[in-house]
A and B are shown apart, each in its own frame.
Chain A
Amino acid sequence: EVVLTQSPATLSLSPGERATLSCRASQSVSTDLAWYQQKPGQAPRLLIYHASDRATGIPARFSGTGSGTDFTLSISGLEPEDFAVYYCQHRRNWPSFTFGPGTKVDFK
């Protein structure tokens, strides 16, 4: 079973700063890694799929990199609406979808 870990658990930043979130897989998932954003009281929203492709309507300040076991979600210039929880996810344990524990980006 491929497990995902995310770091840090919480990232405290100010608007305008750059956020760098990490996701690590216990075994290679190639580039089959997605990122989601979840705001309080809302459903998750797909941000990035295939490790680096932005989903429809996602602003260019969100970018994903990585392959194999190490992945990064970067947010260049945090906007107030970006303060949320971010999850990475893979499907190597097919048919299930495995999520990481999440990283909360909050106000410093």
Chain B
Amino acid sequence: EAQLVESGGGLVQPGGSLRLSCVASGFSFSSSEINWVRQAPGKGLEWVSFSSSTGITVYYADSVRGRFIVSRDHAKNSLYLQMSSLRAEDTAVYYCARVNGHTAVDLDLWGQGTRVIVSS
């Protein structure tokens, strides 16, 4: 069964750093484009970043560009989101989600999410 599992969330002070992980299983991670999508408490879904299947091409939302870095470790079937200079507005549940390989325009597999709280 295809699965994505996030971890690494927690409580961090403003200005601090945190690294989220997303481990893939049951499908070809090295052939899949993966994104990070977040959801602030009581709010809707916001796209955060994109990683091509190789990890060479990455993109970020304006709200996180320059502060977040996405990377992959193919040996570990893992995607990471290194978050720094965190702000209160980064508080959210962070999901990793796979791009639908047939359409390339929707997200067909989501992890269960990991919660990040930025607060002093």
Contact = CB atoms under 8 A, between A and B. Distances in A.
Interface of A: 32, 34, 36, 42-46, 49-50, 55, 87, 89-91, 95-102
Given A43-B111, A43-B113, A49-B100, A99 B46 contact: yes
Interface size range of chain B in the complex: 20 to 34
Interface string B89-116: 0000001010010011111111111000
B interface: dominant SS: strand
Contacts of A89: 45, 106-107
Given A95-B50, A97-B37, A44 B45 contact: yes
- Pairs A-B, 8 closest by C-beta atoms: A34-B106, A91-B105, A43-B110, A99-B45, A97-B47, A95-B59, A49-B106, A32-B105
B110 A45 contact: yes
Interface of B: 35, 37, 44-47, 50, 59, 61, 95, 97, 100, 103-113
B112 A43 contact: yes
A107 to B, nearest CB: 19
Nearest to A29: B105
Nearest to B33: A95
Contact of A98 (B47, B59, B110): B47
Contacts of A96: 47, 50, 59, 61
A55 B47 contact: no
Given A43-B111, A43-B112, A90 B105 contact: yes
Interface centre among B35, B47, B106, B108 (most CB of A within 10 A): B106
B107 A87 contact: no
A46 B45 contact: no
Nearest to B95: A43
Contact of B100 (A43, A46, A90, A95): A46
A18 to B, nearest CB: 25
A36 B97 CA distance: 12
A45 B97 CA distance: 10
Given A43-B95, A96-B59, A49 B37 contact: no
